[in-house]
Copies of this chain bind each other. A is one copy, B any other.
Amino acid sequence: MTYERGGAAETVDGVLVALADPTRRQLLDLLAAQGMATATTLAERLPVSRQAIVKHLAVLDAAGLVTGSRVGREVRYTVRPAALDAAARWMAALAADWDRRLATIKRVAEAAEPEQG
């Protein structure tokens, strides 16, 4: 299994980078709680400028975690679960793979050292 090449790898990469920042996670929490919000409203709830929020939203958008739609003069952002779900599945698969490998290694080691038991 190789996780860097092919298919959903780029998607996962973007999600991981996006989620690595605490401010962006807070942003996602606020968005999920309110269902919808604009950069200006979100900036009122966080200790950073509106422009900082805009940049974070751009990163989240590029990662597929949020989407924004224009309504008149404001842009309303919403959360998108799909990319997050894909990343969660990727991680779960990776953890399962590690478990499998470690189990195999353990079996081999026990077979090679029968003096233990």
A interface residues, Cβ below 8 angstroms from B: 1-4, 13, 16-17, 19-20, 22, 25-26, 28-29, 32-33, 35-36, 78-81, 84-85, 87-89, 91-92, 94-99, 101-102, 105
Given A81-B96, A81-B98, A85-B95; 19 other pairs, CB 8 A cutoff: A2-B29, A3-B29, A4-B25, A4-B26, A16-B19, A19-B20, A28-B94, A32-B97, A32-B98, A33-B101, A78-B102, A79-B101, A81-B95, A84-B94, A84-B95, A84-B98, A85-B92, A87-B91, A89-B92
| Separation of A104 and B33 alpha carbons in the complex (Å) | 11
Q: Contact check: which of B2, B99, B102 meets A35 at CB < 8 Å?
A: B102
Copies of chain A in the complex: 2
| Separation of A84 and B66 alpha carbons in the complex (Å) | 24
Residues in B with CB closer than 8 Å to A33 are 101
